[in-house]
């Protein structure tokens, strides 16, 4: 535990991180358009008319335009069968003008992300949900990575926050946020504890951590009095309460205890969509490789840098 009391909590705002990613994406998408005649294109596919999913699509659309990525929204009726969803995904897989496909959640209860993920071409899987990309991530191989946790890592890196060797707790173990966040931090040499709904003493685990990442969808779950002084807190939570959006962290109580904290809104959210843009661009570059090449894999960020 730090001997000096922390008096000032640094707000880790997403805007400058998103701006840096956007600049990189714009350079790469210009290269694709101007030199190779390829317009990187993302399709968001939604079944039904969930307001949160449609709001997310709106924010994706605005952000993609600024990153040089074309966006198309496809909405299927809520009565769409599993076969209908699989057919729609197959058509997107076969469309050479589509480089990335994001399945917007939630879906009607008779469908699931797993059904969609099983049928999506891993080369177009810009949120890392297919078994191929999830497996490659867990094996430490190049892959399109889930945008939200990858954004969390980009945020930490942007602000120069050390991950290597630190004790970290990740709360939430979903396939799109918590689990890959734990994997990404393990790959960066953190010692990671994964907590979830059945964790017996969450407060104890949180009190030990130097880095706390929370993706539970549970407002106020993490309070300042649970934290080790000087902890870094990454809040992925998005909870709509009336007209307000709040995270999973009780923001007021962590001020003066945490060394740094991602505010909600304005923390991880803007970075997530910019990772989606860079994943779409990486997928567009990868689509140019000959299909007979054995190693049809997305470019790693360092390879993208080399191209831009
Ligand atoms: P999910 O419902 O699939 O998973 C929630 C996880 O949190 C589960 O593993 C569950 O065990 C755990 N959990 C729930 N309540 C808990 C509790 N009281 N104590 C300990 N663990 C608990 O959710 P998800 O899709 O991973 O999303 C999590 C949150 O992140 C939501 O608020 C969602 O809106 C948000 N989210 C944010 C972004 C972003 O860009 N910031 C992107 C996706 C999701």
pLDDT tens-digit readout, 200-250? 999 999 999 999 999 999 999 999 999 999 999 999 999 988 889 999 999
| CATH code at position 58 | 3.40.50.10860
What is the pLDDT at residue 299? 55
Same domain, 105 and 174: no
What is the pLDDT at residue 32? 96
What is the pLDDT at residue 289? 84
Number of domains the chain is built from? 2
Question: Is residue 90 left, alpha or beta, with left meaning phi > 0 and alpha meaning psi from -120 to 50?
Answer: alpha
Residue 6 pLDDT greater than 90, yes or no: no
Same domain, 183 and 264: yes
Distance 215 CA to ligand 1 centre (A): 4
Give residue 64's domain range: 38-120
> From the CB of 148, is ligand 1 less than 6 Å away?
yes
Residue 295 covered by a domain: no
Is pTM, for the whole model, over 0.75?
Answer: yes
Higher pLDDT, 4 or 41: 41
Residue 72 covered by a domain: yes
The partner residues of 70 in beta bridges, in order of sequence, read 41
What pLDDT digit, counting tens, does each position of 272-298 carry? 999 999 999 999 999 998 554 444 555
What is the pLDDT at residue 158? 98
Residue 33 pLDDT greater than 70, yes or no: yes
- Tell me the pLDDT of the chain averaged across its residues: 93
| CATH code at position 160 | 3.40.50.720
Residue 104 covered by a domain: yes
Residue 251 covered by a domain: yes
Same domain, 78 and 163: no
Distance 152 CA to ligand 1 centre (A): 14
Rg for the chain, CA atoms, rounded: 19
Residue 2 pLDDT greater than 50, yes or no: no
CA angle 5–7–13, rounded 5-degree value: 125
Residue 177 CA: nearest ligand 1 atom is 26
Distance of CA 177 to the CA centre of its chain: 7
What pLDDT digit, counting tens, does each position of 124-139 carry? 999 999 999 999 999 9
Residue 300 pLDDT greater than 60, yes or no: no
What is the pLDDT at residue 306? 47
Which residue out of 172, 183, 204, 213 has the highest number of ligand 1 atoms within 8 Å of its CB and is therefore the one to mutate? 172
What pLDDT digit, counting tens, does each position of 46-74 carry? 999 998 899 999 999 999 999 999 999 99
What is the pLDDT at residue 257? 97
Same domain, 205 and 242: yes
Determine the average pLDDT of the residues in 257-261: 98
Determine the average pLDDT of the residues in 12-16: 98
> From the CB of 238, is ligand 1 less than 6 Å away?
yes
For the chain, what percentages of helix, strand and coil (3-state, to nearest 5) are there? 45, 15, 40
Residue 163 covered by a domain: yes
Residue 258 covered by a domain: yes
SS (H, E, C) 70-122: EEEEEEECCCCCHHHHHHHHHHHHHCCCCCEEEECCCCCCCCCHHHHHHHCCH
Residue 197 covered by a domain: yes
> From the CB of 62, is ligand 1 less than 6 Å away?
no
What pLDDT digit, counting tens, does each position of 87-101 carry? 999 999 999 999 999
What pLDDT digit, counting tens, does each position of 145-178 carry? 999 999 999 999 999 999 999 999 999 999 999 9
What is the pLDDT at residue 238? 93
């Amino acid at each position: 535990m730090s001997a000096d009391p922390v008096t000032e909590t640094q707000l880790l705002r997403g805007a400058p991180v998103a701006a840096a990613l956007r600049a990189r994406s714009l350079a790469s998408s210009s290269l694709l358009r101007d030199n190779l005649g390829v317009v990187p294109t993302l399709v968001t596919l939604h079944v039904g008319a969930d307001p949160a999913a449609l709001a997310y699509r709106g924010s994706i659309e605005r952000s993609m335009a600024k990153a040089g990525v074309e966006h198309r929204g496809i909405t299927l009726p809520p009565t769409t069968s599993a076969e209908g969803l699989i057919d729609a995904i197959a058509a997107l897989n076969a469309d050479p003008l589509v480089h990335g496909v994001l399945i917007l959640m939630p879906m009607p209860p008779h469908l699931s992300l797993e059904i969609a993920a099983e049928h999506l071409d891993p080369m177009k899987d810009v949120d890392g949900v297919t078994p191929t990309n999830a497996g490659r991530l867990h094996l430490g191989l190049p892959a399109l990575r889930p945008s939200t946790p990858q954004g969390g890592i980009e945020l930490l890196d942007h602000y120069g926050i050390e991950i290597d060797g630190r004790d970290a707790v990740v709360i939430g173990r979903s396939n799109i946020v918590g689990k890959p966040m734990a994997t990404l931090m393990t790959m960066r040499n953190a010692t990671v504890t994964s907590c979830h709904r059945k964790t017996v003493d969450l407060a104890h685990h949180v009190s030990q951590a130097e880095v706390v990442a929370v993706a539970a969808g549970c407002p106020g779950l993490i309070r300042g009095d649970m934290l080790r002084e000087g902890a870094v807190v990454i809040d992925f939570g998005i909870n709509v309460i009336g007209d307000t959006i709040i995270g999973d962290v009780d923001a007021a109580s962590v001020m003066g205890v945490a060394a740094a904290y991602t505010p909600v809104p304005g923390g991880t959210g803007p970075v997530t969509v910019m990772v989606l843009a860079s994943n779409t661009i990486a997928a567009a570059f990868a689509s140019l490789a000959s299909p007979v090449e054995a190693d049809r894999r997305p470019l790693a960020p360092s390879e993208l840098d080399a191209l831009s």
